[in-house]
Amino acid sequence: MVLELDHLSKRYGGTEALRDLTLHVPAGSVYGLLGPNGSGKTTTLGLALGVLNPTAGAVRWFGQALSAASKRRVGVLLETPNFYPYLSARQNLQVVAEVKRAPTSQLDEVLETVGLRNRQHDAFQGFSLGMKQRLALASTLLGQPEVLVLDEPTNGLDPQGIAEVRTLVQRLAAEGKTIILASHLLDEIEKVCTHVAVLQRGQLRAAGAVRDILTSADRVVLRPGPASSLQALREALAQLPWISDVQAEAEGRVSVVLDSAHDPAALNEALFRQGIVLAGLELRHRSLESQFLALTS
Ligand SMILES: Nc1ncnc2c1ncn2[C@@H]1O[C@H](COP(=O)(O)OP(=O)(O)OP(=O)(O)O)[C@@H](O)[C@H]1O
């Protein structure tokens, strides 16, 4: 594990910003912290980075308490840094490299990574929002950290800038960096993250692989034909080990979840063999949006 948060809590006076958060970030993952404004994402990152002190709980980076050595392995972008408007992209990075004591030989590499090499001598003030944010990411890459911590990296960007930054995050992940990213945008988490923790009012609602948390199975909605009662349909469904979560639906229908090895046609056939003729069979895709709302409602 790159980062382990164990039973972390944080109070600001009377406000409980985070309650008993336990979260493990595996190496190589793109770990999203997803939640509405005020849900505790920034507080979580602040505690993880040692900027804030927890009221309770512990933080471990690379299996150990946070230290100067572990901090050097983590690049952080909490808010867009202030660059000098009249200096070029390269000159601005030179300033950051000096502060971080990173060798200037890394400048070419990070400019290349963020796609600003051919604009490196242009003044920062002429850059688009997306380019400014890519330069900010370049500055976090100086020192070659293994882990990047990004708080709302696409906030305030136009659609073009958002796309640029997301593509860059995906590329950095593909290169093997572990990325921890806070966002209130479900769409962003879905597009770039492998793992997600859903926070709401300082509490963890769900955590795990994005495909498990945000893409739970579609449901199949069944309506028995006139010759088959709802009771008979339910009894037939109970015979099938590969269906789960039978739920009553409006208008005398039921819905079920199939395992990954079976499709709706297999369900129709299995029911027919048990003497059930369906009058309706409909696949209902559950949108990510509705799952997120279900998790945080
Ligand atoms: N310094 C502080 N003093 C008092 N309350 C705070 C402080 N910082 C955060 N809070 C409160 O703690 C809660 C969690 O805030 P936090 O900033 O961690 O949430 P967030 O999910 O990052 O939201 P946002 O995206 O708006 O930054 C909120 O209720 C917030 O008002």
Q: Ligand 1 center to residue 185 CA distance, Å?
A: 17
Q: Do domains 3-213 and 219-296 have the same CATH topology?
A: no
How many angstroms does the Cα of residue 8 sit away from the middle of ligand 1? 15
**pLDDT average, residue stretch 267-282:** 94
Give me the mean pLDDT over the 6-10 stretch: 96
Q: How confident is the model at residue 148 (pLDDT cuts 50, 70, 90)?
A: very high
Q: Which atom of ligand 1 is nearest the CA belonging to 46? A: 18
Mutational test site, ligand 1, from 21, 42, 200, max ligand atoms within 8 Å of CB: 42
Share of the chain above pLDDT 90, in %: 70
Q: Where are the domains of the chain?
A: 3-213, 219-296
For residue 212 the two structure tokens come to: 């498990």
Kind and range of the H or E run holding 217:
none
**What's domain 3-213's superfamily in CATH?**
P-loop containing nucleotide triphosphate hydrolases (3.40.50.300)
Kindly state if the Cβ of 40 falls inside 6 Å of ligand 1. Answer: yes
CA-proximal residue: ligand 1, atom 26 (nearest) = 37
Report domain 219-296's class: alpha beta
pLDDT in tens, 173-224: 999 999 999 998 888 888 899 999 999 999 998 898 887 776 556 789 999 9
Q: In terms of DSSP H, where are the helices of the chain?
A: 41-48, 68-71, 89-100, 106-113, 129-141, 159-174, 186-192, 210-213, 230-238, 264-273, 288-296
CA 20 to chain centroid, in Å, comes to 20
Cβ–Cβ < 8 Å for 182, 150:
yes
Q: What is the DSSP string of 97-130?
A: HHHHT--TTHHHHHHHHTT-GGGTTSBGGG--HH
pLDDT of residue 286: 64
Question: What's the pLDDT at 287?
Answer: 60
Query: What is the pLDDT at residue 195?
Result: 94
Residue whose Cα lies nearest atom 13 of ligand 1: it is: 17
Kindly list the distances between the CA atom of residue 213 and the CA atoms of 32, 119, 219, 293, in Å, as whole numbers in the listed order.
12, 40, 16, 12
Counting from 1 in the atom list of ligand 1, the atom nearest the Cα of 184 is 25
Ligand 1 neighbour 39 (Cβ under 6 A) = yes
